[in-house]
Structure 1
Amino acid sequence: MKQLFSIGLLTLCSTKLLGQGKKTDSIIPYSFHFQQTLVTQWHPDFPAKYSGPNSFHTHEASATSITSTLYVGMRPLKNLELYLNPELAGGTGLSKATGIAGFPNGETFRVGSPKPKIYLARAYAVYTLPLTMRTEVHKDDLNNIAGTTPTHYLRFIGGKYCLADFFDLNAYSHDPRTQFLNWSLMGNGAWDYPADVRGYTLALTLQYRKDNWILQAATSLEPTEANGPKLNYHYHTSNGEVVEITHTYTLNRHEGNMRVMTFINQAPMGDYQEAINTSTHPPDITSVRRNGHTKYGIGVNLDQEFTTDGGAFLKASWNDGHHETWAYTEIDRSVSAGWLQAGTSWRRAQDNAGLALVVNGLSPDHRHYLEAGGSGFMLGDGQLNYGPEMLSEIFYQYNITRLHIALSPDYQFVMHPGYNKDRGPVNILGLRTRVAF
């Protein structure tokens, strides 16, 4: 714990100095940003009739995670942008990030060692082919160089990145570093999006935009094993495909976005029903893994501004759930809704607060597998008295703008953790500390 906070303090001092020297001229063809996020969470003891290999712990100490990211971008040619994101991550989540499908800390990865480690998170290129002379001005931001963008274009994005950087976006519920922390509020929970254990993959994305419509599709690599750290380069037997259409509109002069996505993943996933039918007890999903298995699904994602400083979101997603979760989290059905409000009305315009509700569910095959005592890479209580996993989250983000620091107290309530009526409820308290420039 002391090591994590020492790293955080050192980075804060260095970034403050860097920030003082950063130029703001928007015509400069480069972008440089930094963020560091520390999340500490704790929960009081809660009741449980039994526990299994991947249960959320009924009693444990607090847990702290840290991520530090450099966002470097440059524009060597008029329509070509290059981005590079070295990242440091360390610490751990409560119960080693197991036991709750809608896990409470979106900054936590299921990695073996909590020791901070530096790795390359993103390295990708963006080429935009203009199809009109009409343009929009956009500001310098994370992985976004200031300049103009045509309102009608064809765009190619290739390299290493997170598919959630471009798909399943939402103005009010997407970023665990500034908005809600819960995994099932970062995106549509039933989208088992292809990624290594840290959330990144090698992918090619094609975007077509025509005014307020965007159609995009991506193909990417899956990990070699469920929740694995290495990507599988046997593309013909292991890959992920996703297609999404986005429409931006205005309602009573307030902007809204509607997104519909569909996906199909192919990987050597185990079949839940086949695992149940074997003589092994408890059933072992890893014993029935083989190539040719798929997972497909759909997601709907809405965000709508209702006032000049507040808006709401609604998401719903589903996957077939016949084969095991391979990369994200053990959710086969999910519905979430909430509100994000800026602090203008209480004279803290730089602050914001949010409230959200989520209901997660399992497919029949997935449910029966856990009932028989099976375990996935995230869930496994040894048995299961099934009930939908229901959770709520509320946070307040207090911004100290002159220091580039944001402090966010956070509270989450989880009913039926891991879809189990025999465990919980759980009350989770947290504090997120973020430095960014």
Structure 2
Amino acid sequence: MKKPAALMLPALLAFAGATQADEASLFVPQWLGAQYTFVDQHQYSLHSPYAGEQSLRAHGDTARSHTFGAYFGVALPAHLQFYFDVEMFKGEGVSNATGLGGLTNGDVIRSGTASLGKTPYVARRYLRWTLPLDDETSDVERAQDQLPGKEATRRFEVKIGKMAVNDDFDKNRYADSTRTQFMNWALFNNTAWDFAADTRGYTEGVMLGWIDKGWSLRYGIYRMPYEANGQKLESSLRHARGQQLELTLQPQADGWALRLLAFQNQARMGIYREAIAIALANGTRPDIRADDRPGRHKAGFAINGELPLADHGDTGLFMRAGWNDGRNESFVFTEVDRTVTGGFQLSGVHWGRGADHLSVGLAINSLSPAHRDYLAMGGSGFVLGDGALRYGHEQILEAYYSLAVCKHFTLSPDIQLVRNPGYNRDRGPARLIALRAHIEL
């Protein structure tokens, strides 16, 4: 019979070896991934009795975009992690990425109010801290902004620094990434959710999350831009901020999920009715920017669901619905005040292509009455402005096929049909085709 010391020695040696290995992994930066996405998109000509500076081009357009990204992370002591991402964008969107509430290429960066260069820029730079709530862990694979290893299943977490708000909110397994799934803005995010971001889509702030079995609760507060679609962020959260709270219900890790989100923005926004009143008094076109004042508020909510049906979740349904008050100007994401979207993903396993999938989505966007009247009087926002408006809901149909050429490379032909582009029944319909190539390492 072995003595207790003899029994304990191998365990102590194993523990010491594991501890040394864990310590060795600290402070060592890890390359977590890289990606390149190319989109070639063509917009056909459309019926257009009149147009403004923000309209879809009547005679059609062809545009190409390129995005590059490299993603890094490092483990630190005390459950801390640091992430650092660098990206670069080149090219443009059809019709200069204007003329629609649901823009057709989510990889395009709008021109905004600042002249953005085509050189590399820091996309994310943040600290993440986790506090385990029990001893149960799950394996985490290497991925963008995700260090490999084990992580507590039940935990409290904090993120602080520069990031994208939609990294943590409004997620959906079937409609979440413009680089591998739907390209239209109305289908990879809830367009009525005017979340804080600069022109490139990033901001600075804090996210707090409680992740438990079957549910999670997240709260985020972030800096808003100084002006609509602007690159400059407000200097302090006291001056302007975007806040959101999201409850996620998901009883099984690979089962159905329902997300309920509420948000409120405070920023230097204009009020549509006030801009209209000033224009009527002066006999001019309304200008929402001229009415910008600090301390204005916009609030709204969003619902997001996913339902796996078969093929280990690779076949399933999704939906989103969103609403904001539409009283103050659309400020950050796009010009949509209400939205309903839905669709499905079908796994290619049914025709012997297990890594492929076919997806179809439908989006219906609408505007508040004040927003409609503003555009009808010739006003313009940062993506809309035909000079006049005969209002109708913007209706978008998108279908794409994701062809897995090899492990790291996919090709996706994509078609989009838009009825009442820019909410205007006098113009359209718009028809677009695209080919997307995506490399991910």
TM-score (norm 1): 0.91
Instruction: Summarize the Cα distance change of 1:386–1:103 in structure 2 as closer, same or farther, 3 Å threshold.
Output: same
Of 221, 242, 245 in structure 1, the residue corresponding to residue 244 of structure 2 is 242
Could you list the per-position Cα deviations for residues 126-151 of structure 1 after superposition, in whole angstroms to 9, with x for gaps in the alignment? 10011111111121111111112212
Could you list the per-position Cα deviations for residues 74-101 of structure 1 after superposition, in whole angstroms to 9, with x for gaps in the alignment? 1122511111101111110011110011
**Partner SS for 1:209:** strand
The aligned counterpart of 2:416 is 412
The aligned counterpart of 2:20 is none
Separation in 1, partners of 2:370, 2:244? 24
Instruction: Summarize the Cα distance change of 1:244–1:60 in structure 2 as closer, same or farther, 3 Å threshold.
Output: same
8 Å contact 1:54–1:379 — kept in the other structure? yes
Could you list the per-position Cα deviations for residues 298-333 of structure 1 after superposition, in whole angstroms to 9, with x for gaps in the alignment? 000001100023011010000000000111000000
The aligned counterpart of 1:428 is 432
Q: CA deviation at 1:281?
A: 1.6
Instruction: Summarize the Cα distance change of 1:115–1:39 in structure 2 as closer, same or farther, 3 Å threshold.
Output: farther
Instruction: Summarize the Cα distance change of 1:92–1:115 in structure 2 as closer, same or farther, 3 Å threshold.
Output: farther
Of 343, 355, 360 in structure 2, the residue corresponding to residue 338 of structure 1 is 343
**Partner SS for 1:325:** coil
The aligned counterpart of 2:6 is none
Tell me if 1:293 matches 2:331.
no
Of 297, 304, 312 in structure 1, the residue corresponding to residue 307 of structure 2 is 304
The aligned counterpart of 2:192 is 190
**Partner SS for 2:183:** coil
The aligned counterpart of 1:128 is 130
Q: CA deviation at 1:351?
A: 1.2
Q: How high is the sequence identity, in percent, across the aligned residues?
A: 38
Separation in 2, partners of 1:166, 1:111? 25
Q: 1:432 is matched by which residue type in structure 2?
A: R
Separation in 2, partners of 1:109, 1:138? 31
Q: 1:354 is matched by which residue type in structure 2?
A: S
Q: 1:409 is matched by which residue type in structure 2?
A: P
8 Å contact 1:91–1:115 — kept in the other structure? no
Instruction: Summarize the Cα distance change of 1:223–1:360 in structure 2 as closer, same or farther, 3 Å threshold.
Output: same
What is the aligned length? 409
The aligned counterpart of 2:18 is none
The aligned counterpart of 2:277 is 277
Tell me if 1:325 matches 2:330.
yes
Tell me if 1:69 matches 2:69.
yes
Separation in 2, partners of 1:179, 1:241? 27
Higher mean displacement: 283-292 or 381-390: 283-292
8 Å contact 1:55–1:98 — kept in the other structure? yes
Question: What are the residue-to-residue correspondences of 1:214-229 with 2, within 5 Å?
Answer: 214-229=216-231
The aligned counterpart of 1:57 is 57
**Partner SS for 2:371:** helix
8 Å contact 2:228–2:382 — kept in the other structure? yes
Separation in 2, partners of 1:114, 1:247? 39
Q: 1:116 is matched by which residue type in structure 2?
A: K
8 Å contact 1:31–1:140 — kept in the other structure? no
Separation in 2, partners of 1:275, 1:119? 36
Separation in 2, partners of 1:130, 1:249? 20
The aligned counterpart of 1:106 is 106
Of 229, 232, 238 in structure 2, the residue corresponding to residue 230 of structure 1 is 232
Could you list the per-position Cα deviations for residues 203-247 of structure 1 after superposition, in whole angstroms to 9, with x for gaps in the alignment? 100001121110010000001110001111132121110000001
Separation in 2, partners of 1:336, 1:361? 12
TM-score (norm 2): 0.90
The aligned counterpart of 1:22 is none
Could you list the per-position Cα deviations for residues 5-24 of structure 1 after superposition, in whole angstroms to 9, with x for gaps in the alignment? xxxxxxxxxxxxxxxxxxxx
8 Å contact 2:61–2:95 — kept in the other structure? no
**Partner SS for 2:356:** strand
8 Å contact 2:32–2:146 — kept in the other structure? no
Separation in 2, partners of 1:33, 1:355? 28
Separation in 2, partners of 1:406, 1:213? 33
Q: CA deviation at 1:118?
A: 1.0
- Give the gaps of 5 or more residues in structure 2: 1-23
The alignment's C-alpha RMSD in Å is: 1.6
